[in-house]
Structure 1
Amino acid sequence: MNTVIHSDTQIGLVRLRVHNLTRSIEFYQSVIGLNVLKREEKTAYLSANGQSVLVEIEEHVDAVRVQPRTTTGLYHFALLVPTRKDLGVVLQHMLEQKMDIGQSDHYVSEALYLSDPDGNGIEIYADRPRSTWKRDASNHYVMGSEPIMWRELLDEAKDEQWNGLPQETIIGHIHLHASDLELAKEFYVEKLGFEVVGDYKAMRALFIAAGGYHHHIGLNVWAGIGAPSPPKGAIGLVYYTIILPDSTARNDVIKRLDKNGIDVKTNEDFYVFTDPFGIEIRLACK
């Protein structure tokens, strides 16, 4: 049994709980650039390529909305676009939409930040070439939070027509509020099998990944050490998915979890378990 998760592991779809489905669909289509692949009475399935689902949204009109940075759960999910030019087109579109956006140059990537109508955090970003990523003496990626070069990005767009997100867009990573980073490391690294690629104690954050990526999962304690889980059924993250390349790689993960006493439930298409912070995770195969 392998002790490290397969190098081709990726983050798959995320499912969010929202107050108003129609309002959310309008936002994710007109602002973010995803398309409705399928719609049910209370749920919509959103896609960039018309085939695979990236985001599911489910409506709960009476769900509680918690104050930001007060519980564990979603900080943001991150949509990775293929090129810097694509990110420039996104930026141009956001400015035309008069959206309130954040931004950051992380050295390994450039990112834009915003929230959906229910406060669910979203990052849209483009990676810099992996050959330019630098590691420190601890073999962790050197990352920062500098202003992006707005004009350069807009010049990349060159007045390209906005047609939604590129078909190659994927969920690049997910960033979570945890209540204890040592507990997070024990679970996600020692039990689940991800590798530490950034232990940023000054930032109170831990970044982990498979296959040498700059991070597939970010974990922070910005909601406070010992932060509680959100109330059951609250607005926010319902679950996120970890995608393994095949059933062998998935079974390795399941064996590790079972060995460590983690309760894994089965379904026809996925396996489901919960992290120490009440966050539901599903395992699936490509």
Structure 2
Amino acid sequence: MTIHSEITLGPVSLRITNLDQSISFYRDLLGLTVLEQTGNTATLGAKMTPLVVLEEQKNSRRLAPNSVAGLYHFAILLPSRKELGFVIRNLIANNVDLGQGDHLVSEAFYLSDPDGNGIEIYADRPRETWSYEANGDVKMTTDPVDWQSMLVEAGEEDWYGMPADTVMGHVHFHVKSLEAGRAFYVDTLGFEVATDASRMKALFVAAGGYHHHIGMNLWAGADAPKAPGDAVGLDYWTLVYPSASVLEKAVAAIDASLYQVERTEDAVYVTDDAGITARLVTK
């Protein structure tokens, strides 16, 4: 089964230790809007598009980076280079440490939230400018970003936070093995391999010819242990199908596999062998 070309990604749910602190980070530094707040949880997004669900668990442990399977980063995709420039301008003004990478297909910046959850914010280059290896893999690399020209594009205009057409672009995980990752994300969910970077201990898969919706790596070590439930980190990521019938076909394929499906009133959940849970929904 090949995954439907019109799937999109929805919000990630994160375990964090201090809700007020995390809301301030995502709202004031990244420009997200608080969409809902109840008790120890809050949902933030770009205008009305939910991107991050925060659940406060005060006694959660913060683990050493790259020590367990689970979230490496989630990646927020802005609609233009100029909009990315606004965010970068704000982060620089607030002395936030940033990593960076020009990946040919996109320009990206990297940071962590107060609990160490990895975040990428990026803008894509036009798809017609992407190039490909002889085997069809999307060509990606990591070069320095020309961030100065990005700030010039942003200029001195007022910033009103992340725009409504900001979306969750991709998610990237530490997995136990690339073979197990391929078995779940390709053979079961139906994503197609976009770039096989196994020499770098990584694999990138996608739907509809995108450069990647899912990244996976072995940078926490082969057979990395699952993240414990009392640690900060990812609770689930969300995969959005275009219709109920498309979702049911996907669930039938999962039911025929080794993975267990859990149904609730409004979603289907399935967890890979690394302990990473996907929440499957429709638009």
- CA contact 2:68–2:224 (8 Å) conserved in 1: yes
- SS, match of residue 241 in structure 1: strand
What is the number of residues matched between the two proteins? 283
**Matching of residue 267 in structure 1 with residue 264 in structure 2:** yes
Aligned partner of 1:110 among 103, 107, 111: 107
Aligned partner of 1:181 among 173, 178, 181: 178
**Matching of residue 5 in structure 1 with residue 12 in structure 2:** no
| TM-score (normalizing by structure 2) | 0.98
What does 1:153-172 align with in structure 2 at a 5 Å threshold? 153-172=150-169
Aligned partner of 1:144 among 138, 141, 145: 141
What's the counterpart of residue 22 of structure 1? 20
What's the counterpart of residue 280 of structure 1? 277
Take 2:86 and 2:68, find their aligned partners in 1: how far apart are those partners? 34
What's the counterpart of residue 46 of structure 1? 44
Q: Deviations over 1:99-123 (max 9, x none)?
A: 1011110000000111000000111
- SS, match of residue 135 in structure 2: coil
> 1:35 is aligned with what amino acid?
T
The RMSD of aligned alpha carbons is 0.9
Aligned partner of 2:239 among 231, 237, 242: 242
Which runs of structure 1 show a deviation greater than 4 angstroms over 4 or more consecutive aligned residues?
none
Take 2:44 and 2:140, find their aligned partners in 1: how far apart are those partners? 31
Take 1:186 and 1:61, find their aligned partners in 2: how far apart are those partners? 35
- CA contact 1:20–1:61 (8 Å) conserved in 2: yes
**Matching of residue 79 in structure 1 with residue 76 in structure 2:** yes
What's the counterpart of residue 87 of structure 2? 90
Quote the sequence identity (%).
47
**Matching of residue 256 in structure 1 with residue 253 in structure 2:** yes
Aligned partner of 2:206 among 193, 204, 209: 209
What's the counterpart of residue 221 of structure 2? 224
Q: Deviations over 1:231-254 (max 9, x none)?
A: 123100010110011111111111
Take 1:47 and 1:233, find their aligned partners in 2: how far apart are those partners? 25
Q: Deviations over 1:65-111 (max 9, x none)?
A: 11110000001101100001111111111111111011110000000
- CA contact 2:49–2:167 (8 Å) conserved in 1: no
Take 1:58 and 1:82, find their aligned partners in 2: how far apart are those partners? 28
- CA contact 2:49–2:164 (8 Å) conserved in 1: no
Q: Cα distance, 1:162 vs. partner?
A: 2.1
Q: Which structure 1 residue ranges, 5 or more long, are not aligned?
A: none
Take 1:34 and 1:69, find their aligned partners in 2: how far apart are those partners? 27
Take 1:61 and 1:261, find their aligned partners in 2: how far apart are those partners? 35
- SS, match of residue 78 in structure 1: strand
| TM-score (normalizing by structure 1) | 0.97
What's the counterpart of residue 124 of structure 2? 127
Take 2:29 and 2:49, find their aligned partners in 1: how far apart are those partners? 20
- SS, match of residue 232 in structure 1: coil
- CA contact 1:15–1:238 (8 Å) conserved in 2: yes
Q: Cα distance, 1:277 vs. partner?
A: 0.4
Take 1:147 and 1:141, find their aligned partners in 2: how far apart are those partners? 19
Q: Deviations over 1:219-266 (max 9, x none)?
A: 000000010001123100010110011111111111111111321111
- CA contact 1:5–1:249 (8 Å) conserved in 2: no
